[in-house]
Amino acid sequence: MGEKIRIGLIGAGNICQNAHIPAYLKQEDVELVAVCDINEKRANEVKEKYGMRYAFTDFHDLVNLPDVDAVSVCTWNNSHAAATIAALKAGKHVLCEKPMAMNPEEAEAMIKAAEDSKRILQIGFVNRFKAESKLLKEFAEKGRFGDIYFAKATYERRRGTPTGWFTNRSKSGGGPVIDIGVHIIDLTWYLMGRPRPVSVTAAVYDRIGDYSTKGVSRWHAFDPDDAFDTEDSACAFIRFENGACMQVSVSWALNNKESMNSEIFGSKAGASLSPFVIYDEQENYLVNSTPVVDKEDPFYNEIKEFITCIREGKAPTATGQDGFQIQRILNGIYQSAKLGREVVL
């Protein structure tokens, strides 16, 4: 590997152009070398805009370039596994966007490819890289909350259904559970100390579906028109091997207020991310306190960690194994909802 880490980008849509590229450009000694998108025009535009050397429509061409060290996988969810495995087999390090894959089997194959190639596989669990999340994780690891035995993961949008491939199950693998539930379930699970999930009971709904509500904006995929065959909300209850439980509520569309929150409840103290409060006792009084931290750019932090791990041969915070455990939970939610009963993972 030369002095600069040479990056290839697979999938040149929204998250690639608006989050990964800007975050790479802010790092030291990183060079954007190649881009790939099945949309040739998009790939060429991104290549020209950022002065990259190559643009492709097939990710195999990109991963086989000798002058690429690492790739970001920013495609629709249905090609995360194929692109990641191809890149790892070609000896590249991979930062794969969330969700890791469409199902646990794909996630396992990705882990095996990373182990075989001895390359870094980092999953894009970007919410772990917010300043508030990092502080709560530090407090949890220092035992400030005691034994964390219950948690709530909430990501409820009132009318926030993305357009395009997100609602096409064959491309996304599912609706808000796999799109935004993945973020809040992962973050909450991470703060809980990553206990092993053992069972899930869940329900999913599609009662609002596509809508024409006026006055609200939506996350637009680069190609906005597609099928709509996913759920629009879900609730779940997850049990872990250590006896802890997590209650989950996620929606793209729900007749409720908007909320994105991780809450953890321990034997000594509890915490909520939004509002950012620690629920404590001092001198025998109940105390609510808010630690003070500057806002940070989580994508910058995530990509900085990816580059640092490559340079120093360190394991990332968000590993393939983490992605796999989260994928087991997501899969369990869909399975339980389908069967109408609790499923053992």
Ligand X SMILES: NC(=O)c1ccc[n+]([C@@H]2O[C@H](COP(=O)([O-])OP(=O)(O)OC[C@H]3O[C@@H](n4cnc5c(N)ncnc54)[C@H](O)[C@@H]3O)[C@@H](O)[C@H]2O)c1
Q: Of the candidates 88, 140, 221, 337, which one interacts with ligand X according to CB under 6 A?
A: 221
Per CB under 6 A, does 72 bind ligand X?
no
Q: Which of residues 159 and 183 has its CB atom nearest to ligand X in the complex?
A: 183
Asked if residues 84 and 94 have their Cβ atoms less than 8 Å apart, the reply is yes
Q: Which of residues 175 and 266 has its CB atom nearest to ligand X in the complex?
A: 175
68-76, 143-151, 265-273, 333-341 -> range binding ligand X (CB under 6 A): 68-76
10 Å CB burial of residue 55 (0-12, 13-18, 19+) is buried
Helix axes 182-191, 131-141, angle to 10 degrees: 30
Per CB under 6 A, does 36 bind ligand X?
yes
Q: Of the candidates 47, 68, 75, 184, which one interacts with ligand X according to CB under 6 A?
A: 75
From start to end of the chain, where are the E strands?
A: 5-10, 30-36, 54-56, 70-73, 93-97, 121-124, 148-156, 197-205, 233-240, 245-251, 259-266, 270-272, 277-282, 285-289, 343-344
Per CB under 6 A, does 10 bind ligand X?
yes
Residue 179: CB minimum distance to ligand X, A: 6
Per CB under 6 A, does 263 bind ligand X?
no
Strand order in the sheet with 54-56: 54-56, 30-36, 5-10, 70-73, 93-97, 121-124
192-200, 217-225, 226-234, 285-293 -> range binding ligand X (CB under 6 A): 217-225
Which string of x and - marks every residue 163-182 that binds ligand X (by CB under 6 A)?
Answer: -xx-----------------
Helix residue spans in 52-103 (DSSP H)? 59-63, 80-89
Q: Which of residues 166 and 240 has its CB atom nearest to ligand X in the complex?
A: 166
How large is the C-alpha radius of gyration of the chain?
A: 20
Which string of x and - marks every residue 115-154 that binds ligand X (by CB under 6 A)?
Answer: ---------x-x----------------------------
Q: Which of residues 182 and 278 has its CB atom nearest to ligand X in the complex?
A: 182
Chain residues in the site for ligand X (CB under 6 A): 10-16, 36-39, 42, 59, 74-77, 79, 97-98, 124, 126, 164-165, 221-223
